[in-house]
Amino acid sequence: MAERRYTEQETALEIKSLRRIVAAYFNYQDAAEKDVRRYERSFKMLSPAHKELLFHLGLKYQRLRWCISMNASFVMNMLEAFDPPFDMSQNEDGDCHDCAEHMHGHNHADCAHSSERSDFSKSVVTTNNSALHAQHDCPREDAKSNACCGEAGNKKDEKVHIVGCSQPAVPNLGTSQGVDKSCHGGEDASAAANYHDTDCFASSTDENATPGHNMPPDFHLDVPPVDVDKVRCIIRNIVRDWAQEGQIERDECYKPILEELNRLFPDRSRPPSCLVPGAGLGRLALEISSLGFVSQGNEFSYYMMICSNFILNHTQEANECTIYPWIHSNCNSLSDNDQLRPVSFPDIHPSSAGITEGFSMCAGDFVEVYSEKSQESAWDAVVTCFFLDTAHNIVEYIEIISKLLKDGGVWVNMGPLLYHFADSYGPDDDMSIELSLEDVKRVAYHYGFVLEVEKMIDTTYTANMASMMQNRYRAAFWTMRKDASRSKAKKCQ
């Protein structure tokens, strides 16, 4: 694949976009604290009798603060581990609000459709993966992709490492914080949040110990609420992909895909290749790798990549980190303890998961990265899970998937059609092609796909299992096989 060079303007935009995302992470704690202060203001408005009745709420707010500070500690660890693909000291004007043209905010009821194009608006960094790709028949033929890929080895306990993102993270982001109890001390942390209320008072008063304290001034931005929401969604995505609590959701979404791949490729002595566009936090791509595929996750969100990098490459053992994912909503809780319950992760140690050599995470826009000539007929399988409806133009996604696959290759899909850009009324008037399932299948047939398996699967996306409200999808699952001889596309060209 030919190396893609970026103009100064493109690089500047990328840096701005990334700075905005880092700022959102940095401001996580401040934003959450603001919410708690709002609860307290409402509490103060109560009559003395009502206050007395709800006396315990004061304590709850302190516990909330403590949970927020634990989440913030985790966020700071994550940022420290992130090696940005650019020198972040460039473009230090700090005002990222005009990056909004790359953002398409939507307020859906859950996080399923809130990870928008905020991020690798162009695929960004050249990386040299030649050794791994050549050695293990990774479908990306040319070592020099135009994206930033993280490669994982397959030896047990071997550290999974990212290559290609070359700029030093810590000095540039200035995130060197000493404090952290959210990882490597999770059990104590969870006990404190739920039961040791006095500790909560103590820790919340120690402001110097809070992670945002040493934040470089240029990251003290007035972060738009939509960005704050995204950080909270990432925290929920951690539960979906990497916590024991997410197992039910993973069994509903990922298990049918894994079983199908297992059925379709019974002989994996020479590992088949599988691409997972819109890989989120990488669990599905990792499971596919563990199943015996040369698996590549593709993801364009820096929010996601910063987090998956931490989990895949920087965790040392199962359940070493603890977060409090559900603290940001007081609604639909059966009890305060439900809302404040800790969740530890990762439920498995990723680099001990028996991954197949050649596992990688590739950063960049699916359309840009995989439209490359070198990607044509490169993959045995493409797996899309809650991804198709992220398209501006779903026809383009399907056309690219068809081109990527070898003749006879399979496309396994699972997900709804909640088109991400369906209600974007931004100044850009984004394109959004919104097709019914029937039309999606018709387009797929046009590009030479033959339907082999089709069913509907009930599932949730980043749901809080203890909540009184559950949004469920009737997601479409299918397996389609590419039969190039049936494609009408080439006949039209």
Ligand X SMILES: C[S@@+](CC[C@H](N)C(=O)[O-])C[C@H]1O[C@@H](n2cnc3c(N)ncnc32)[C@H](O)[C@@H]1O
Task: Outline where DSSP puts E strands in 260-404.
Answer: 273-277, 294-299, 321-323, 343-345, 359-363, 379-385
Q: Record the tokens describing residue 162, joined without a space.
A: 């990212």
Q: Record the tokens describing residue 23, joined without a space.
A: 């700022």
Amino acid identity of 71? N
In the bound state with ligand X, the residue whose beta carbon lies nearer, of 81 and 363, is 363
Amino acid identity of 457? I
In the bound state with ligand X, the residue whose beta carbon lies nearer, of 180 and 252, is 252
Q: Record the tokens describing residue 454, joined without a space.
A: 């089709």
- Beta strands 379-385 and 321-323 are unpaired
At residue 139, the 3 state secondary structure works out as coil
What span, in angstroms and rounded, lies between the C-alpha atoms of 235 and 225?
A: 16
Q: Are 381 and 264 in contact (CB under 8 A)?
A: yes
C-beta of 304: minimal distance to ligand X in Å? 5
In the bound state with ligand X, the residue whose beta carbon lies nearer, of 83 and 119, is 119
In the bound state with ligand X, the residue whose beta carbon lies nearer, of 367 and 465, is 367
Task: Outline where DSSP puts E strands in 80-223.
Answer: 127-128, 144-145, 148-152, 161-162
Q: Record the tokens describing residue 66, joined without a space.
A: 């403590």
In the bound state with ligand X, the residue whose beta carbon lies nearer, of 75 and 147, is 147
Q: Record the tokens describing residue 191, joined without a space.
A: 């006990």
C-beta of 78: minimal distance to ligand X in Å? 16
In the bound state with ligand X, the residue whose beta carbon lies nearer, of 112 and 353, is 112
C-beta of 204: minimal distance to ligand X in Å? 33
DSSP 8-state symbol, 392: S
C-beta of 365: minimal distance to ligand X in Å? 5
C-beta of 433: minimal distance to ligand X in Å? 14
DSSP 8-state symbol, 282: S
**Backbone conformation region of residue 358, classed left if phi is above 0, alpha if psi is from -120 to 50, else beta:** left
What span, in angstroms and rounded, lies between the C-alpha atoms of 155 and 135?
A: 15
In the bound state with ligand X, the residue whose beta carbon lies nearer, of 108 and 349, is 108
What span, in angstroms and rounded, lies between the C-alpha atoms of 126 and 352?
A: 28
In the bound state with ligand X, the residue whose beta carbon lies nearer, of 88 and 361, is 361
What span, in angstroms and rounded, lies between the C-alpha atoms of 394 and 401?
A: 11
- Beta strands 473-482 and 405-415 are antiparallel
C-beta of 367: minimal distance to ligand X in Å? 6
Q: Which of 144, 162, 88 is nearest to 369 (CA)?
A: 144
What span, in angstroms and rounded, lies between the C-alpha atoms of 276 and 412?
A: 10
In the bound state with ligand X, the residue whose beta carbon lies nearer, of 36 and 361, is 361
In the bound state with ligand X, the residue whose beta carbon lies nearer, of 71 and 301, is 301
C-beta of 16: minimal distance to ligand X in Å? 18
In the bound state with ligand X, the residue whose beta carbon lies nearer, of 67 and 149, is 149
In the bound state with ligand X, the residue whose beta carbon lies nearer, of 200 and 311, is 311
C-beta of 293: minimal distance to ligand X in Å? 16
C-beta of 199: minimal distance to ligand X in Å? 34
In the bound state with ligand X, the residue whose beta carbon lies nearer, of 127 and 204, is 127
Gap between the terminal Cα atoms of the chain: 24
Return phi, psi of residue 109, to 5°.
-65, -25
Q: Are 16 and 91 in contact (CB under 8 A)?
A: yes
Binding site for ligand X (CB under 6 A): 112-113, 115, 240, 253, 277-280, 298-301, 304, 365-367, 385-387, 390
C-beta of 170: minimal distance to ligand X in Å? 25
C-beta of 158: minimal distance to ligand X in Å? 25
H/E run at residue 457: strand 449-459
Residue 110 neighbours by CB distance under 10 Å: 18
484: exposed, middle or buried (Cβ count in 10 Å: 0-12, 13-18, 19+)? middle
C-beta of 469: minimal distance to ligand X in Å? 19
Return phi, psi of residue 347, to 5°.
-65, -25
DSSP 8-state symbol, 183: B
Residue least distant from ligand X (Cβ): 278
C-beta of 390: minimal distance to ligand X in Å? 4
